[in-house]
Amino acid sequence: MKYIVVLGDGMADEPIESLEGKTPLEYAATPVMDDLAGKGQIGLAYMIPEGMKPGSDTANLAVLGYNPKNYYTGRSPLEALSIGVDMKDTDIAIRCNIVTVSEEDGIPYGRRTIIDHSSGEISTEDAAVLLDAVKKELGSEIFQYYAGTSYRHLLIWDHGNVAELIPPHDILGRKIGKYLPEEPALKEMMKKSFDILNNHPINIERAKRGLNKANSIWFWGAGTRPKLDSFEEKTGKKGVMISAVDLLKGIAVGTGMKNINVPGADGTLHTNYEGKAMAAVTALLEDDYDFAYIHVEAPDEMGHQGNIKDKIEAIESLDAKVIAVVKREMDASEKPYRMLVLPDHPTPVRLRTHTAGPVPYTLYDNTMERRRIGRYNEAEAEMSGNVVQEGYRLIEQLFA
């Protein structure tokens, strides 16, 4: 038996008036997910444990069967694993976004507004140049900067503390003053970064092209060195991770799964969906892996942008270019397989950030097909009556 998880990050949402009271998942054309739901099982799962902040870090750990209450030490330490930073026990890892803040003349940094947590999904190449400019001015033996992917980067703080820091996607459109770090050194570096970046040649060129400037760093997601058990030892399954984001790659490193890097997979709306699907199929059918985890970031990014149309497009692309391809190839192989499709958490376009509500899942087994008319969405999942309260145990149903 082969096992597959297809995760549409942030895919779940709320009913939206302009979509006739439907969620983006209900409104989108998703014939393959609907077919899986009709032939398999559908239900709701709570991936965020009570009392923990909703995020892709805690939620994806849960989807993989790791109880976040036992394993979670912060988001950035997981990303540090992906980047290849060997943290000391005394190190604190902090996510360093490159963001867009407003640039009114003559106002203090704290009175600026955060416009975009991703700087218009800036390319990794441009972001690396900007981070290098920050590093030259602000880096030291105590504060070391490391380039990641797109707008997502890393700060390692030697003998630091796990400061309380606000994610930038939680405060889009707000004045940043009351959300800045209380830690003076972190706050000062964020302030100085605006002066370093706002008139950098890359940002001057971005402004000419009508793109958001990548004109400030933003710290969040602090944590300590992670300690994760081997996925293979825990489950008996040899697995691969297929994702464009450092968080998921870091989880794979920490759990001993193999990362497969797909050309053109970049976490955006126009990522290489088919390439991800075929990488999973190849790993399962040719390289003899037991388990493949396909993570698609685009629905979450569109939720953060508050873009209904593009979130629908991301969901439809996931259905047509990932799930359909995986199902077609696995069916042609005539090998038995089970596939679990779900989001990690909701990212409602109204809120533009994560929430901790339950997510719909569908679990399909090609050896145990049922025959009913169904749809895969939040309402159908709720009506099913199937509820997994401890989301980290959902994977037990996949492997049952």
Q: Does any domain span residue 218?
A: yes
Answer yes or no: do 96 and 64 share one domain. Answer: no
Q: Does any domain span residue 144?
A: yes
Answer yes or no: do 234 and 121 share one domain. Answer: no
Domain boundary residue, one of 163, 191, 223: 223
Domain boundary residue, one of 202, 223, 244: 223
Q: Any residues with CB less than 8 A from the CB of 290 and at least 6 apart, and which?
A: 1, 2, 3, 237, 238, 239, 284
CATH for 272: 3.40.720.10
- Report in angstroms the alpha-carbon separations of 136 from 91, 133, 144, 195, 294: 21, 5, 10, 13, 36
Q: Does any domain span residue 75?
A: no
Domain with 51 in it: 2-70+229-399
Residue 346, token pair as written in the block: 């909701």
Give the SS3 label for residue 210: coil
Provide the whole-model pTM. 0.88
Q: Which pLDDT belongs to residue 373?
A: 74
Answer yes or no: do 45 and 89 share one domain. Answer: no
Q: Average pLDDT, stretch 297-318?
A: 97
Q: Is the pLDDT of residue 388 over 90?
A: yes
Q: What is the pLDDT of residues 246-275, one digit of tens each?
A: 999 999 999 999 999 999 999 999 999 999
Q: Does any domain span residue 246?
A: yes
pLDDT > 70 in the chain, percent: 100
Q: Does any domain span residue 78?
A: no
Question: Which parts of 256-393 fold into alpha helices (H)?
Answer: 273-285, 298-305, 308-317, 324-333, 378-384
Which secondary-structure segment (H or E) carries 279? helix 273-285
Give the SS3 label for residue 387: strand
Q: Which pLDDT belongs to residue 371?
A: 76
Answer yes or no: do 188 and 129 share one domain. Answer: yes
Answer yes or no: do 180 and 303 share one domain. Answer: no
Q: Which residue has the tokens 């493949």?
A: 292
Domain boundary residue, one of 198, 223, 248: 223
Residue 391, token pair as written in the block: 């989301």
Q: Does any domain span residue 364?
A: yes
Considering its fold, how many domains does the chain have in total? Answer: 2
Answer yes or no: do 37 and 131 share one domain. Answer: no
Q: Which pLDDT belongs to residue 86?
A: 87
Q: Is the pLDDT of residue 300 over 90?
A: yes
Answer yes or no: do 99 and 66 share one domain. Answer: no
Q: Which pLDDT belongs to residue 369?
A: 80
Give the SS3 label for residue 337: strand
Q: Does any domain span residue 76?
A: no
The beta strand positions in 201-322, using DSSP E, are 216-223, 239-242, 258-259, 291-296
